[in-house]
């Protein structure tokens, strides 16, 4: 037996050693081709600093020392006279002596320069603060890994957005709301004493993108989060993340003091309530001196809030803001609200509630607005609050986890969706008032700026549930650093670091990624349709659902299909949601000739037999879009069959299998949707179109009580 085990070990071991399970993300530091590795080693053969006592510089140096020999294939020199990387801030005598202009680097940016230092060739990573130096180190490694290091380095970068946040929707029992990649990485039960080494790798990955804040717990928060027991756990995580420039924040439940039986009310204007939060903030800051602040979901989807006491969102936010203000903390107050009693179009409600509060928030409050007016759908127009609250800094919140875009198994690269919103012109101050300019503060002169991404990170070995979902984490971080970065540029640098630099792999992979989100739109919610997912878990189609307690939870509320036509009239003849946008935008959306395919049924109710610019009728076009979505997945599969052999078998296999799932589910979406809409439209299927595999009742009967991510 022992002999057999030994023999098996020998057989199996090489595979294990070469295992590519995705754990290393984009920080793989594979050995470069020999000539390139040697050239890199000549440019720098050692890593030097005067500031190794600084914890952030220390982790930057550690990262460089781990990556450099791994990429060059040569050990680092012990020190001395050869070419080297020199990293630090002006506190370092050697950096100060170089007299670099660091004004362009700001608080968190960096300068990368190749220059002579006492006759030695140096790659200099210099920054005003240690965190900037850490970001510079990661930038250097990104360029080296991606094979895009210029001959003479001369880079100046600084982040455009101040708060680059992840929002974990992680519960205290380690389940994750809308998480499809295992359990929460926060092993609360073992904290604060045991800290999983994974927290360090989490910090490295985030720091490599410039992410500088993380909200540890779900916006649907429990009062327990703010007990001494849990504060200690959060503090232990904060200690691990701190050297990487990442601050910890917590989601706070509005009614916490009442539920902990420490106050009688949660009325924000009650002095006892304000005193409780002030004492709580003091307690948190004693444990976490650089605590970032609170994220709050209030009076939204059943969560308590200041309106329970007839106070406004501003009253609530400002009371909390006063509690954290002496410590330099902030409050991120979410604008994701819609009422269970208000019959008004849900797409209008957040604007109606928040716009009148513009100018009423304290200066350490930032209002967090989802990218679109409904809820993280495969495509939404930009949220009308962007550009409408010039006196209030707004965070744009996007969902990295794919609640509505096929969970972790569908390949859907989300950067094109985020760019679409960031590039959208609000016309708030005339042409060129893009959402990106609202977010980076340049439009209205705000210093406090932010982006928030609902994390897709979990305990799965590959972190994100699939290899391609790692690209969404990556792209989110890169875009939070620079909202103008192009989605395909990001995909290219990600693919080159994650897989290989071989252009015959990278190019078609990037092409596949770039088209993938539109494919999802086409097979789930084409032409501006939205929110047609099945109830609760949001997995699979449910366009027929019309019997849920709240009207705006029903897909039928959104598509409004009847025997005459389909779509939600949001023009003047309907809910007039278009009027929440600035003039030129409102006019474009309101006009059938200018609204475009993407938002046609978002803003208009269109007759089934009306002719569209394609020459097809509405009904024919709808069917054609569903077919186009399925065909796009077919094409992805065909591409991948050719590409898979170019990478390691382990990751290739997962991608191949997930594409099979995506194909099956794209067909399910198409067939179920066509079966349903045909039952409403009564129109025959256009010629040559394949009928759904089953009748409508079959699709309606499908149940998924154990779908992941539900709460
Ligand atoms: C919805 C999710 C729900 C979240 C909510 C939110 O279905 O689980 O709690 O967003 O953002 O999309 O608060």
pLDDT in tens, 491-500: 999 999 999 9
Q: Quick check: 597 pLDDT over 50?
A: yes
Position 18 confidence tier, pLDDT thresholds 50, 70, 90 = low
577: in domain: no
513: in domain: no
Ligand 1 center to 537 CA (angstroms)? 11
User: What is the pLDDT at residue 666?
Assistant: 98
Same domain, 208 and 228: yes
Ligand 1 center to 303 CA (angstroms)? 11
User: What is the pLDDT at residue 2?
Assistant: 43
The residue contributing the CA closest to ligand 1 atom 9 is 220
CA 285 to CA 279: how far, in whole Å? 10
Domain count, the chain: 3
645: in domain: yes
Pocket of ligand 1 contains residue 63 by CB under 6 Å: no
User: What is the pLDDT at residue 518?
Assistant: 98
Strand-pairing partners, residue 117, are 120
Pocket of ligand 1 contains residue 178 by CB under 6 Å: yes
Catalytic one of 375, 552, 569, 620 = 375
The residue contributing the CA closest to ligand 1 atom 1 is 375
Mean predicted confidence (pLDDT) in 167-179? 98
User: What is the pLDDT at residue 11?
Assistant: 40
Position 16 confidence tier, pLDDT thresholds 50, 70, 90 = very low
pLDDT 10s digits, 687-700: 999 999 999 999 99
582: in domain: no
**Torsion, Cα of 96, 99, 100, 103 (10° steps):** 90
The burial of 626, by beta-carbon neighbours within 10 Å (0-12 exposed, 13-18 middle, 19 or more buried), is given as buried
Torsion over CA: 127, 133, 138, 140 (sign):
positive
First-to-final CA distance of the chain = 47
594: in domain: no
Same domain, 131 and 240: no
Ligand 1 center to 570 CA (angstroms)? 24
Pocket of ligand 1 contains residue 221 by CB under 6 Å: no
Same domain, 451 and 528: no
Closest CA to 426 of 383, 395, 394: 383
What would the two tokens of residue 128 be? 């005003």
More confident: 553 or 139: 139
Mutate to test the pocket of ligand 1, among 177, 300, 335 (most ligand atoms within 8 A of CB): 177
User: What is the pLDDT at residue 7?
Assistant: 42
User: Greatest CA separation found in the chain?
Assistant: 82
Position 80 confidence tier, pLDDT thresholds 50, 70, 90 = confident
Pocket of ligand 1 contains residue 375 by CB under 6 Å: yes
Are the CB atoms for 555 and 680 separated by under 8 Å? no
State the closest ligand 1 atom to the C-alpha of 220, by its place in the atom list counted from 1.
9
CA 109 to CA 90: how far, in whole Å? 14
Are the CB atoms for 435 and 484 separated by under 8 Å? no
User: What is the pLDDT at residue 9?
Assistant: 39
What are the b/e assignments for 81-99, b being 16+ CB within 10 Å?
eebbbbbbbbebebbeebe
Catalytic, 63? Answer no
600: in domain: no
User: What is the pLDDT at residue 1?
Assistant: 41
Are the CB atoms for 383 and 438 separated by under 8 Å? no
Catalytic one of 403, 469, 522, 665 = 403
- What's the chain's average pLDDT? 96
Q: Quick check: 124 pLDDT over 60?
A: yes
Pocket of ligand 1 contains residue 625 by CB under 6 Å: no
Domain boundary residue among 137, 157, 177?
157
Domain boundary residue among 458, 482, 498?
498
User: What is the pLDDT at residue 550?
Assistant: 86
Same domain, 493 and 619: no
Ligand 1 center to 465 CA (angstroms)? 19
Got the DSSP string for 58-112? HHHHHHHHHHHHHHHSSPPP-SSSS-EEEEE-TTSHHHHHHT---GGGTTT-EEE
**Residue 49 backbone dihedrals phi, psi, to 5 degrees:** -155, 155
User: What is the pLDDT at residue 711?
Assistant: 67
Catalytic one of 201, 301, 648, 650 = 301
Ligand 1 center to 336 CA (angstroms)? 9
Q: In what order do the strands lie in the sheet with 154-157?
A: 47-48, 84-88, 120-126, 110-117, 154-157
Ligand 1 center to 342 CA (angstroms)? 19
Catalytic, 301? Answer yes
Are the CB atoms for 392 and 359 separated by under 8 Å? yes
pLDDT 10s digits, 500-519: 999 999 999 999 999 999 99
Are the CB atoms for 630 and 574 separated by under 8 Å? no
Ligand 1 center to 232 CA (angstroms)? 27
User: What is the pLDDT at residue 8?
Assistant: 41
Same domain, 284 and 385: yes
Ligand 1 center to 602 CA (angstroms)? 21
User: What is the pLDDT at residue 570?
Assistant: 98
pLDDT 10s digits, 269-287: 999 999 999 999 999 999 9
CA 291 to CA 246: how far, in whole Å? 10
The residue contributing the CA closest to ligand 1 atom 10 is 375
Catalytic, 552? Answer no
State the closest ligand 1 atom to the C-alpha of 177, by its place in the atom list counted from 1.
8
Closest CA to 374 of 421, 343, 340, 336: 336
Are the CB atoms for 122 and 114 separated by under 8 Å? yes
Pocket of ligand 1 contains residue 220 by CB under 6 Å: yes
Strands of 329-374, DSSP E = 330-334, 365-370
State the closest ligand 1 atom to the C-alpha of 219, by its place in the atom list counted from 1.
13
Closest CA to 258 of 301, 306, 326, 318: 306
What is the distance, to the nearest Å, from the Cα of residue 695 to the centroid of all Cα atoms in its chain?
37
**Matching residue, tokens 């304290």:** 362
Same domain, 417 and 311: yes
Same domain, 78 and 210: no
pLDDT 10s digits, 470-492: 999 999 999 999 999 999 999 99
pLDDT 10s digits, 146-167: 999 999 999 999 999 999 999 9
Same domain, 472 and 433: yes
User: What is the pLDDT at residue 4?
Assistant: 44
Mean predicted confidence (pLDDT) in 567-586? 98
User: What is the pLDDT at residue 390?
Assistant: 98
Same domain, 153 and 167: no
Give residue 41's domain range. Answer: 2-157
Ligand 1 center to 403 CA (angstroms)? 9
Pocket of ligand 1 contains residue 376 by CB under 6 Å: yes
What CATH number is given to the structural domain containing 375? Answer: 3.20.20.80
The residue contributing the CA closest to ligand 1 atom 2 is 178
User: What is the pLDDT at residue 710?
Assistant: 85
Domain boundary residue among 134, 157, 180?
157
Mutate to test the pocket of ligand 1, among 167, 168, 175, 301 (most ligand atoms within 8 A of CB): 301
pLDDT 10s digits, 291-303: 999 999 999 999 9
Please report which helix (H) or strand (E) contains residue 164, including its range: strand 163-167
User: What is the pLDDT at residue 549?
Assistant: 87
Pocket of ligand 1 contains residue 175 by CB under 6 Å: no
pLDDT 10s digits, 304-339: 999 999 999 999 999 999 999 999 999 999 999 998
Same domain, 187 and 308: yes
The burial of 342, by beta-carbon neighbours within 10 Å (0-12 exposed, 13-18 middle, 19 or more buried), is given as middle
Cis omega before residue 537 (within 30°)? no
Ligand 1 center to 438 CA (angstroms)? 24
599: in domain: no
Pocket of ligand 1 contains residue 177 by CB under 6 Å: yes
Q: Quick check: 77 pLDDT over 60?
A: yes
CA 534 to CA 105: how far, in whole Å? 48
**Matching residue, tokens 């070995």:** 461
What CATH number is given to the structural domain containing 105? Answer: 3.30.379.10
Same domain, 103 and 229: no
Pocket of ligand 1 contains residue 294 by CB under 6 Å: no
592: in domain: no
State the closest ligand 1 atom to the C-alpha of 454, by its place in the atom list counted from 1.
11
Pocket of ligand 1 contains residue 297 by CB under 6 Å: yes
Same domain, 433 and 564: no
pLDDT 10s digits, 646-686: 999 999 999 999 999 999 999 999 999 999 999 999 999 99
């Amino acid at each position: 037996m022992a002999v057999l085990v030994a023999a098996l070990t020998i057989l199996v071991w090489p595979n294990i050693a070469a295992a590519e399970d995705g754990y290393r993300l984009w920080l793989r530091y594979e050995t470069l081709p020999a000539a390139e590795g040697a050239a890199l080693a000549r440019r720098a053969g050692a890593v030097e600093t005067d500031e190794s006592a600084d914890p952030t510089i220390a982790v930057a140096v550690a990262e460089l020392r781990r990556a450099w020999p791994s990429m060059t294939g040569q050990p680092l020199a012990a020190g001395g006279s050869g070419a080297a990387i020199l990293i630090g801030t002006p506190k370092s005598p050697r950096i100060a002596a170089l007299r670099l202009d660091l004004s362009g680097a700001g608080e968190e940016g960096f300068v990368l320069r190749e220059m002579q230092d006492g006759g030695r060739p140096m790659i200099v990573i210099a920054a005003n603060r240690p965190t900037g130096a850490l970001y510079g180190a990661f930038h250097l490694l990104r360029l080296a890994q991606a094979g895009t290091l210029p001959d003479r380095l001369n880079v100046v970068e600084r982040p455009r957005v101040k708060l680059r946040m992840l929002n974990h929707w992680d519960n205290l029992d380690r389940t994750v709301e809308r998480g499809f990649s295992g359990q929460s990485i926060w092993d609360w039960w073992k904290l604060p004493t045991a800290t999983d080494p994974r927290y360090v790798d989490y910090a490295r990955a985030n720091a490599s993108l410039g992410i500088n804040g993380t909200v540890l717990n779900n916006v649907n928060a429990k009062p327990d989060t703010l007990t001494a027991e849990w504060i200690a756990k959060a503090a232990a995580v904060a200690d691990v993340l701190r050297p990487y420039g990442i601050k910890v924040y917590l989601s706070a439940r509005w009614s916490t003091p009442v539920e902990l039986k420490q106050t009688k009310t949660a009325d924000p204007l009650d002095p006892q309530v304000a005193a409780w939060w002030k004492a709580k903030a003091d307690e948190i800051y004693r444990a976490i001196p650089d605590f970032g602040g609170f994220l709050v979901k209030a009076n939204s989807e059943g969560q308590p809030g200041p309106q329970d006491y007839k106070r406004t969102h501003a009253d609530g936010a400002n009371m909390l803001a006063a509690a954290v203000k002496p410590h330099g903390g902030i409050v991120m107050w979410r604008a994701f609200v819609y009422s269970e009693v208000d019959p008004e179009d849900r797409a209008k409600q957040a604007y109606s509630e928040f716009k009148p509060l513009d100018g009423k928030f304290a200066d350490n409050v930032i209002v967090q607005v989802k990218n679109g007016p409904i809820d993280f759908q495969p495509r939404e127009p930009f949220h009308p609050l962007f550009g409408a609250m010039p006196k209030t800094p707004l965070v744009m919140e996007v969902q990295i986890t794919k609640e509505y875009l096929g969970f972790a198994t569908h390949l859907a690269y989300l950067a094109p969706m985020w760019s679409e919103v960031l590039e959208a012109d609000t016309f708030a101050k005339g042409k060129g008032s893009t959402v990106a300019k609202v977010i980076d503060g340049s439009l209205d002169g705000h210093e406090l700026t932010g982006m928030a991404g609902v994390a897709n990170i979990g305990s799965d070995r590959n972190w994100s549930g699939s290899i391609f979902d790692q690209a969404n984490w990556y792209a989110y971080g890169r875009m939070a650093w620079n909202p103008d970065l192009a989605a395909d540029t990001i995909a290219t640098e990600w693919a080159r670091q994650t897989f290989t630099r071989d252009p015959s792999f990278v190019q078609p992979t990037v092409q596949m990624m770039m088209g993938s989100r539109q494919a999802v739109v086409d097979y789930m919610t084409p032409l501006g349709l939205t929110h047609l997912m099945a109830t609760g878990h949001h997995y699979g189609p449910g366009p027929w659902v019309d019997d849920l307690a709240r009207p705006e939870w029903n897909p039928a509320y959104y598509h409004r299909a009847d025997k005459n036509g389909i779509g939600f009239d949001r023009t003047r003849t309907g809910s007039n949601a278009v009027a929440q946008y600035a003039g030129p935008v409102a006019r474009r959306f309101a006009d059938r000739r200018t609204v475009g395919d993407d938002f046609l049924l978002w803003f208009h109710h269109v007759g089934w037999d009306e002719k569209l610019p394609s020459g097809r009728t509405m009904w024919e076009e709808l069917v054609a879009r569903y077919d186009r979505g399925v065909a796009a997945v077919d094409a992805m599969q065909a591409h991948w069959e050719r590409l898979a052999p170019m990478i390691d078998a382990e990751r290739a296999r997962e991608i191949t299998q997930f594409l099979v799932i995506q194909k099956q589910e794209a067909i399910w979406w198409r067939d179920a949707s066509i079966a349903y809409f045909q039952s409403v439209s009564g129109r025959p299927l256009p010629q040559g179109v394949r009928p759904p595999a089953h009748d409508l009742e079959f699709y309606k009967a499908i149940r998924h009580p154990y779908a992941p991510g539900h709460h």
